[in-house]
Amino acid sequence: MNFRKLKKAAAAVLAAAMCVTMAFGISVSAAEQKSAWSEAKALTSAKYSSKYINWLKKYGEKEVKNTVTYSKSRTKKLIDKIDTKLSKDGAEYSFYLIDKESILAAARKDDKFKVVTFTKDISFNTAIYADKTNETMLVVEDKIKLSNKATYDYTPEYSYLALAEVLDPDVKDDATGKLFKFKSEDKIYYYEEFENSEFGPMRYLFSEKGTPLAIGVADGFYCMSLSYTVDDSEFQIPEEYKEADIDELIELLEKMK
Protein backbone atom coordinates (compact mmCIF):
# COMPACT_ATOMS: atom_id res chain seq x y z
CA MET A 1 0.00 0.00 0.00
CA ASN A 2 1.40 3.37 -0.91
CA PHE A 3 0.02 5.83 1.64
CA ARG A 4 1.09 6.34 5.20
CA LYS A 5 -2.35 6.30 6.76
CA LEU A 6 -3.04 2.77 5.62
CA LYS A 7 0.38 1.56 6.70
CA LYS A 8 -0.10 3.06 10.15
CA ALA A 9 -3.68 1.96 10.65
CA ALA A 10 -3.36 -1.54 9.26
CA ALA A 11 -0.56 -2.26 11.71
CA ALA A 12 -3.10 -3.60 14.17
CA VAL A 13 -4.12 -6.29 11.70
CA LEU A 14 -0.71 -6.90 10.19
CA ALA A 15 0.95 -7.26 13.59
CA ALA A 16 -0.68 -10.66 13.78
CA ALA A 17 0.93 -11.74 10.53
CA MET A 18 4.27 -10.29 11.57
CA CYS A 19 4.25 -12.18 14.85
CA VAL A 20 3.63 -15.45 13.07
CA THR A 21 6.43 -14.75 10.60
CA MET A 22 8.78 -13.99 13.48
CA ALA A 23 7.73 -17.19 15.20
CA PHE A 24 8.84 -19.11 12.15
CA GLY A 25 12.18 -17.30 12.24
CA ILE A 26 12.06 -16.13 8.61
CA SER A 27 13.90 -13.21 7.06
CA VAL A 28 12.51 -11.94 3.78
CA SER A 29 14.62 -8.89 3.01
CA ALA A 30 16.85 -10.52 0.38
CA ALA A 31 14.18 -12.26 -1.67
CA GLU A 32 13.84 -11.30 -5.34
CA GLN A 33 10.52 -9.75 -6.39
CA LYS A 34 8.06 -11.98 -8.24
CA SER A 35 4.67 -11.10 -9.59
CA ALA A 36 2.08 -12.79 -7.40
CA TRP A 37 -0.84 -10.36 -7.43
CA SER A 38 -3.26 -12.86 -8.99
CA GLU A 39 -2.19 -15.63 -6.61
CA ALA A 40 -2.71 -13.40 -3.58
CA LYS A 41 -6.05 -12.19 -4.95
CA ALA A 42 -7.22 -15.80 -5.34
CA LEU A 43 -6.87 -16.24 -1.57
CA THR A 44 -9.44 -13.51 -0.99
CA SER A 45 -12.85 -12.40 -2.18
CA ALA A 46 -11.30 -9.20 -3.52
CA LYS A 47 -12.56 -7.75 -6.80
CA TYR A 48 -10.91 -4.95 -8.72
CA SER A 49 -13.00 -2.52 -10.79
CA SER A 50 -11.22 0.13 -12.82
CA LYS A 51 -14.44 2.11 -13.20
CA TYR A 52 -14.67 2.63 -9.43
CA ILE A 53 -11.10 3.94 -9.38
CA ASN A 54 -11.73 6.19 -12.39
CA TRP A 55 -14.84 7.65 -10.74
CA LEU A 56 -12.86 8.52 -7.61
CA LYS A 57 -10.32 10.35 -9.72
CA LYS A 58 -12.90 12.00 -12.00
CA TYR A 59 -15.13 13.41 -9.28
CA GLY A 60 -12.17 14.41 -7.16
CA GLU A 61 -11.17 16.79 -9.95
CA LYS A 62 -14.66 18.21 -10.55
CA GLU A 63 -15.72 21.56 -9.19
CA VAL A 64 -18.10 21.00 -6.31
CA LYS A 65 -21.78 21.79 -6.85
CA ASN A 66 -23.30 20.08 -3.83
CA THR A 67 -21.99 19.56 -0.33
CA VAL A 68 -22.79 17.36 2.65
CA THR A 69 -22.01 17.82 6.32
CA TYR A 70 -20.17 14.92 7.89
CA SER A 71 -22.92 14.31 10.44
CA LYS A 72 -25.37 13.53 7.61
CA SER A 73 -22.96 11.73 5.30
CA ARG A 74 -22.79 8.14 4.17
CA THR A 75 -19.17 8.21 5.30
CA LYS A 76 -20.16 8.83 8.92
CA LYS A 77 -22.79 6.11 8.73
CA LEU A 78 -20.05 3.73 7.57
CA ILE A 79 -17.69 4.68 10.42
CA ASP A 80 -20.48 4.50 13.00
CA LYS A 81 -21.51 1.07 11.76
CA ILE A 82 -17.94 -0.20 12.02
CA ASP A 83 -17.79 1.13 15.57
CA THR A 84 -21.09 -0.53 16.49
CA LYS A 85 -20.46 -3.87 14.80
CA LEU A 86 -16.78 -4.51 15.42
CA SER A 87 -16.45 -3.27 18.97
CA LYS A 88 -18.68 -6.12 20.17
CA ASP A 89 -17.35 -9.37 21.56
CA GLY A 90 -17.43 -12.11 18.94
CA ALA A 91 -17.57 -9.64 16.05
CA GLU A 92 -16.90 -11.15 12.63
CA TYR A 93 -15.92 -9.40 9.43
CA SER A 94 -14.42 -9.73 5.99
CA PHE A 95 -12.58 -6.76 4.52
CA TYR A 96 -10.33 -5.93 1.61
CA LEU A 97 -8.58 -3.09 -0.15
CA ILE A 98 -7.15 -3.73 -3.61
CA ASP A 99 -5.50 -1.87 -6.46
CA LYS A 100 -3.39 -3.16 -9.36
CA GLU A 101 -0.24 -3.35 -7.24
CA SER A 102 -1.33 -4.21 -3.71
CA ILE A 103 -3.82 -6.13 -1.62
CA LEU A 104 -4.79 -6.05 2.03
CA ALA A 105 -7.49 -8.53 3.00
CA ALA A 106 -8.51 -9.78 6.42
CA ALA A 107 -11.29 -11.87 7.89
CA ARG A 108 -12.31 -13.04 11.35
CA LYS A 109 -15.01 -15.39 12.62
CA ASP A 110 -15.20 -17.08 16.01
CA ASP A 111 -11.63 -18.21 16.71
CA LYS A 112 -10.58 -18.14 13.03
CA PHE A 113 -8.48 -15.35 11.57
CA LYS A 114 -6.97 -14.68 8.13
CA VAL A 115 -4.86 -11.88 6.70
CA VAL A 116 -3.51 -11.71 3.14
CA THR A 117 -1.06 -9.06 1.99
CA PHE A 118 0.55 -8.32 -1.33
CA THR A 119 2.79 -5.42 -2.34
CA LYS A 120 4.64 -5.32 -5.65
CA ASP A 121 7.81 -3.98 -4.02
CA ILE A 122 8.01 -6.91 -1.59
CA SER A 123 9.32 -10.20 -2.91
CA PHE A 124 7.94 -12.42 -0.15
CA ASN A 125 4.19 -12.07 0.14
CA THR A 126 2.28 -14.14 2.66
CA ALA A 127 -1.10 -15.17 3.93
CA ILE A 128 -1.75 -16.16 7.53
CA TYR A 129 -4.52 -18.56 8.55
CA ALA A 130 -4.98 -19.12 12.27
CA ASP A 131 -7.29 -20.38 14.96
CA LYS A 132 -6.80 -20.90 18.67
CA THR A 133 -4.67 -24.03 18.16
CA ASN A 134 -2.89 -23.70 14.80
CA GLU A 135 -1.26 -21.15 12.54
CA THR A 136 -0.38 -21.65 8.89
CA MET A 137 1.66 -19.28 6.76
CA LEU A 138 1.37 -19.47 2.97
CA VAL A 139 4.20 -18.19 0.78
CA VAL A 140 2.24 -16.88 -2.16
CA GLU A 141 5.01 -16.79 -4.77
CA ASP A 142 6.05 -20.40 -4.28
CA LYS A 143 2.77 -22.07 -3.29
CA ILE A 144 4.20 -23.54 -0.09
CA LYS A 145 2.90 -23.50 3.48
CA LEU A 146 4.37 -23.82 6.94
CA SER A 147 2.33 -24.83 9.96
CA ASN A 148 2.91 -24.14 13.61
CA LYS A 149 1.08 -24.27 16.94
CA ALA A 150 -0.79 -21.07 17.71
CA THR A 151 1.43 -18.43 19.30
CA TYR A 152 -0.70 -15.31 18.96
CA ASP A 153 -4.04 -14.11 20.32
CA TYR A 154 -6.12 -12.83 17.40
CA THR A 155 -8.58 -10.66 19.27
CA PRO A 156 -11.44 -8.60 17.81
CA GLU A 157 -9.57 -5.38 18.56
CA TYR A 158 -7.51 -5.91 15.42
CA SER A 159 -10.56 -5.60 13.23
CA TYR A 160 -11.98 -2.60 15.04
CA LEU A 161 -8.83 -0.53 15.41
CA ALA A 162 -7.46 -1.16 11.93
CA LEU A 163 -10.62 -0.73 9.89
CA ALA A 164 -11.90 2.31 11.75
CA GLU A 165 -8.53 4.04 11.49
CA VAL A 166 -8.05 3.28 7.79
CA LEU A 167 -11.48 4.53 6.75
CA ASP A 168 -12.17 7.38 9.18
CA PRO A 169 -11.59 10.87 7.69
CA ASP A 170 -11.22 12.18 11.26
CA VAL A 171 -13.26 15.35 10.82
CA LYS A 172 -15.79 17.13 13.03
CA ASP A 173 -19.51 16.51 12.63
CA ASP A 174 -20.06 19.98 11.15
CA ALA A 175 -17.29 19.59 8.55
CA THR A 176 -18.46 20.15 4.98
CA GLY A 177 -17.50 17.75 2.20
CA LYS A 178 -18.05 17.32 -1.52
CA LEU A 179 -21.05 15.37 -2.72
CA PHE A 180 -21.84 14.01 -6.18
CA LYS A 181 -24.77 11.81 -7.12
CA PHE A 182 -24.56 10.15 -10.52
CA LYS A 183 -26.02 7.34 -12.55
CA SER A 184 -24.29 4.63 -14.56
CA GLU A 185 -25.97 1.67 -16.28
CA ASP A 186 -29.22 2.40 -14.43
CA LYS A 187 -27.51 2.34 -11.04
CA ILE A 188 -27.11 5.28 -8.66
CA TYR A 189 -23.77 6.06 -7.02
CA TYR A 190 -22.58 8.64 -4.51
CA TYR A 191 -19.17 10.28 -4.21
CA GLU A 192 -18.23 11.96 -0.94
CA GLU A 193 -15.00 13.72 -0.06
CA PHE A 194 -13.69 15.11 3.21
CA GLU A 195 -10.42 16.90 3.91
CA ASN A 196 -8.16 15.15 6.38
CA SER A 197 -5.71 17.50 8.11
CA GLU A 198 -2.76 15.14 7.65
CA PHE A 199 -3.44 13.23 4.44
CA GLY A 200 -5.49 15.65 2.38
CA PRO A 201 -8.72 14.65 0.61
CA MET A 202 -10.27 11.31 1.53
CA ARG A 203 -12.60 10.12 -1.21
CA TYR A 204 -15.41 7.59 -0.89
CA LEU A 205 -17.60 5.85 -3.44
CA PHE A 206 -20.90 4.34 -2.31
CA SER A 207 -23.69 2.41 -3.96
CA GLU A 208 -27.26 3.71 -3.79
CA LYS A 209 -27.79 1.64 -0.63
CA GLY A 210 -24.71 3.11 1.05
CA THR A 211 -22.40 0.15 0.48
CA PRO A 212 -18.76 1.31 0.30
CA LEU A 213 -17.17 0.43 -3.04
CA ALA A 214 -13.87 2.32 -3.16
CA ILE A 215 -11.72 4.74 -1.20
CA GLY A 216 -9.03 7.22 -2.16
CA VAL A 217 -6.41 8.69 0.16
CA ALA A 218 -3.64 10.97 -1.06
CA ASP A 219 -2.36 9.30 -4.27
CA GLY A 220 -3.80 5.86 -3.43
CA PHE A 221 -7.09 4.60 -4.89
CA TYR A 222 -8.52 1.24 -3.81
CA CYS A 223 -11.57 -0.87 -4.44
CA MET A 224 -12.93 -2.08 -1.13
CA SER A 225 -15.51 -4.26 0.52
CA LEU A 226 -16.60 -4.76 4.11
CA SER A 227 -18.96 -7.46 5.31
CA TYR A 228 -20.07 -8.26 8.86
CA THR A 229 -20.85 -11.90 8.10
CA VAL A 230 -18.24 -14.40 6.96
CA ASP A 231 -18.58 -17.76 5.27
CA ASP A 232 -16.43 -20.58 6.61
CA SER A 233 -14.94 -21.02 3.14
CA GLU A 234 -12.89 -17.85 3.77
CA PHE A 235 -10.66 -19.89 6.05
CA GLN A 236 -10.10 -22.95 3.85
CA ILE A 237 -6.45 -23.30 2.86
CA PRO A 238 -6.06 -24.10 -0.88
CA GLU A 239 -4.94 -27.64 -1.59
CA GLU A 240 -2.29 -26.57 -4.13
CA TYR A 241 -0.10 -25.17 -1.35
CA LYS A 242 2.40 -27.86 -0.35
CA GLU A 243 3.74 -28.36 3.15
CA ALA A 244 7.35 -27.33 3.66
CA ASP A 245 9.64 -26.92 6.64
CA ILE A 246 11.84 -24.11 7.84
CA ASP A 247 14.99 -25.54 6.25
CA GLU A 248 13.31 -25.77 2.85
CA LEU A 249 12.10 -22.20 3.09
CA ILE A 250 15.50 -20.86 4.13
CA GLU A 251 17.08 -22.74 1.22
CA LEU A 252 14.52 -21.23 -1.14
CA LEU A 253 15.24 -17.71 0.11
CA GLU A 254 18.97 -18.24 -0.28
CA LYS A 255 18.47 -19.21 -3.94
CA MET A 256 16.42 -16.05 -4.51
CA LYS A 257 19.17 -13.70 -3.32
Q: Assign 157 to helix, strand or coil.
A: helix
**CB–CB of 140/125 below 8 Å?**
yes
List, in sequence order, every residue forming a beta bridge with 69; answer none if it has no partner.
Answer: 176
Query: For residue 154, what pLDDT is reported?
Result: 60
Strand (E) or helix (H) holding 39:
helix 37-42
Q: Assign 21 to helix, strand or coil.
A: helix
Q: Residue 114's Cα: distance from chain center in Å?
A: 11
Model confidence band, residue 119 (pLDDT cutoffs 50, 70, 90): confident
Q: Assign 50 to helix, strand or coil.
A: helix
Is it the case that residue 98 has pLDDT exceeding 80? yes
Q: For 67-88, write each residue's pLDDT tens digit.
A: 999 999 999 999 999 988 888 8
Is it the case that residue 174 has pLDDT exceeding 90? yes
Q: For 210-245, write each residue's pLDDT tens digit.
A: 999 999 987 889 999 999 999 999 999 999 999 987
Is it the case that residue 249 has pLDDT exceeding 80? no
Query: For residue 53, what pLDDT is reported?
Result: 97
Is it the case that residue 14 has pLDDT exceeding 70? no
Judged on CB neighbours under 10 Å (0-12, 13-18, 19+), 161 is: middle
User: Residue 219 gets which letter from DSSP?
Assistant: T
Mean pLDDT of the chain: 81
